[in-house]
Structure 1
Amino acid sequence: MHRSAPRLTRILACAAVPVMLVVAGCSSDSDSKSKDSATASPTPEAKKSPTVAPATFGKLPEPCDSIGEKTIEDLVPSAKSKSGTEGKSSDISRRGSCSWNGLDDNGVKGSQYRWLDVSFLRYESDATLAVSAEQRAEESYDKEIAKAQASEGAKDVKTSPAAGIGDEATTVTYKLRKTGEDFTYATVVARTENGVVTLTYNGTGYAGAKNPSTSDITKGAVKAAKEAVASVATANK
C-alpha cells in the first residue's frame, strides 16, 4: 500500500501534462488571432463617384418665339410666315430650331430675298465622365464655329469675335453662290452657360437688285442673335 502511493502520484502528474499543453496551445492560437486582428489594415473605402456642377439651364425657349416680331419684320421683309417654321426635334428640351424666309418684290427695282435660321442646343452634366454641362457646351460651341467656317462652296470666309452676346460668341461671314445668285452669309455662334445658339442670316438681290453688304447682313445677324441668346435665360426664370 505504501509503495503504490508514489506510483499513483507519478501517473497523475504525467496525465496532467497533455492537458496543460493543449490549454497552452489554445491560448497561443487565440493570442495570435487577436494580434492579427489588431494589426490588419482597415478595409479601404469605396471610391466615390466624381462630382460635377449641375446644368444651369434646364430647358430651352420656344425657337419661333426667341426673336421678336419687329426684328423679323426688319430682317425678313415679306416673310412667308412671320411666326416662323419650327424644325423637327426628337427632344425639344435639348434641341430646337426655327426659320423664316421671304422675297420682298420691288417690281422693276428688283427683289430682295432674306433667310434667317436659329437653332438651340442644351447640354446636361455627365458624372460618369466627370464632364460638366458647361464644358460640353464649350466643346459644341467650337464645333459649330468650325462647321460654319467649313460651309461647302463658301468663299471669302472671315471669322471675328462678337462682343456682348452670351458668355462667348463668334461671327463667321462668307459669300456663297447658289441658284445662279451670289448670297451674303453671316453666322453667329454663341454660348450661354450650358446652351449653344447658332443663328444664320443670309440674302441676295434678284432681277438686278443690289446684293446686301456683308456689314448689313452681319448687323442683322448680331441683332437677332442677342435676342435669341437672351431668350434662353428668360425661358429658365
Structure 2
Amino acid sequence: MGAAVLPVLLLAAACSSESGSGSGDKAGATQAGKASASAGPGASTSPTVQPARYAKLPEACKVLSDKTLDDLVPKADDSGKEGTSSDLSRRASCSWDSLENHGVDGSQFRWLNVSLLRFTSEQTRGTGEEQAHEFFLKQVQDAKSTDGAKNTATQPVSATGDEATAVRYDLKKKEGTFKQQTVVARVANVVVTVDYNGAGLAGDKTPDADDLVKQAEKAAAEAVASVAKANGDTVKSAPSASSSPSDKASASKDAQDGKDTTEGSASPSPSNSASSSKD
C-alpha cells in the first residue's frame, strides 16, 4: 500500500510544478509588455525648441530712410553698397561713404555700415533668441577691443529693440583722427550692428562725438524697426540695455558665420572713396 501512495504523490508534485511555471511565464510576459509600452516613441521624444520670432530680414540697403541717410552721409549715393552674403535671409549688410568738400577749409568724411544677422532655433544650439543674445555680447566686446582705439566708452541705448549698447572711441589714421561709433542692438532673434564714423580732413574740424553717437543710435532704432516691419510686426522696445540677460560662456557657430556681415567695420580710407563721392 505504501508503494501505491508514492506514485500518486510524485504525480501531484509534478502537476503543481508545471502549474507554477505557466503562471510565472504569463506574469513575465505581462511585465515585458508594460515595459515595452512605456518605452514607446512618445517616451523618448525630446522637447521641441521654441521657433524663432523672425523668419526673414529686410533689404539692408533700404533699412534707413532717405532723410536719415542725408543726415548721416550727406554726400553719399543713397542706394548704398550691398555686402556679400551667401544667404540674404540670414545675413545682410550695406554701407555708404561721404566726402563733403569745403574747399580750402578741408572736408568732412563720413562712413556708415549697417549689418543684420538672423538666428534660427535649433535643438542642439538653443533658441534663435539665445543665440542672438550671445552674438550681441560678442559684437559689443569686439567693438570695445578694437586695436588702436583710444578714449573708449560704452553706454546703454534705450528704446531700441530688446537690448542695445553703444561703443564709442577715437581711432587715429594717416588721414586724421576718426570718431567711431558702434551701436549693437538685438530684437528677438536678429542682431543689428551700426558702425558710423567721421573725421575732419585737410584742416577741417573734427566732428563732435556726441552728435555722431546720437545719429548712430537713431540709425540703429530705424534699422530695428525695419526688421520688425519686414516680418509684419511692431517692435516692443526694452527700456535699456541694462536689462539684458546674463552673459553666456561662448558665442554660437552662427556668431562665427556672421563675420561676413560685420568684418571690415573699420572705415575705408577716405582717399580711396573720395573719387566716388559727390563734391
| TM-score under structure 2 length normalisation | 0.75
TM-aligned CA deviation for residue 102 of structure 1: 1.2
Indicate the residue corresponding to 2:17 in structure 1.
25
Cα distance between partner residues in 2 of 1:162 and 1:69 = 23
1:151 alignment partner AA:
T
Indicate the residue corresponding to 2:72 in structure 1.
75
Indicate the residue corresponding to 2:212 in structure 1.
217
Cα distance between partner residues in 2 of 1:146 and 1:14 = 94
Structure 1 residue 181 corresponds to structure 2 residue 184: no
Cα distance between partner residues in 2 of 1:88 and 1:170 = 26
Picking from 145, 152, 158, the partner of 1:157 is 152
Q: Deviations over 1:179-223 (max 9, x none)?
A: 231000111000001100000110101111001011111011011
TM-aligned CA deviation for residue 150 of structure 1: 0.8
Indicate the residue corresponding to 2:277 in structure 1.
none
Residues 114 and 203, structure 1, Cα contact 8 Å, conserved in 2: yes
| Structure having greater relative contact order (Cα 8 Å, sep ≥ 6) | 2
Picking from 112, 116, 123, the partner of 1:120 is 116
Cα distance between partner residues in 2 of 1:53 and 1:40 = 36
Cα distance between partner residues in 2 of 1:226 and 1:36 = 67
TM-aligned CA deviation for residue 20 of structure 1: 5.6
Residues 110 and 208, structure 1, Cα contact 8 Å, conserved in 2: yes
Structure 1 residue 65 corresponds to structure 2 residue 57: no
Cα distance between partner residues in 2 of 1:51 and 1:149 = 36
TM-aligned CA deviation for residue 128 of structure 1: 2.8
Root-mean-square deviation (CA), in Å? Answer: 2.2
The structure with the greater share of residues assigned to strand is: 1
Query: Which contiguous aligned blocks of 4+ residues in structure 1 show a shift greater than 6 angstroms?
Result: 13-19
Q: Deviations over 1:103-137 (max 9, x none)?
A: 011112211000000000111111134x1111111
2:105 alignment partner AA:
K
1:198 match: secondary structure:
strand
TM-aligned CA deviation for residue 31 of structure 1: 1.5
1:228 match: secondary structure:
helix
Cα distance between partner residues in 2 of 1:183 and 1:189 = 19
Residues 104 and 111, structure 1, Cα contact 8 Å, conserved in 2: yes
Unaligned runs of 5+ in 2: 233-279
Residues 67 and 228, structure 1, Cα contact 8 Å, conserved in 2: yes
Unaligned runs of 5+ in 1: 1-9
Cα distance between partner residues in 2 of 1:236 and 1:36 = 58
Instruction: Answer with 1 or 2: which has the greater Rg.
Output: 1
Residues 141 and 190, structure 1, Cα contact 8 Å, conserved in 2: yes
Indicate the residue corresponding to 1:230 in structure 2.
225
Residues 99 and 118, structure 1, Cα contact 8 Å, conserved in 2: yes
Report matched runs for 1:130-209 at 5 Å. 131-209=126-204
Indicate the residue corresponding to 2:26 in structure 1.
34
Cα distance between partner residues in 2 of 1:39 and 1:103 = 82
Aligned length: 226
| TM-score under structure 1 length normalisation | 0.87
Indicate the residue corresponding to 1:95 in structure 2.
91
1:228 alignment partner AA:
A
Question: Identity of aligned pairs, percent?
Answer: 45
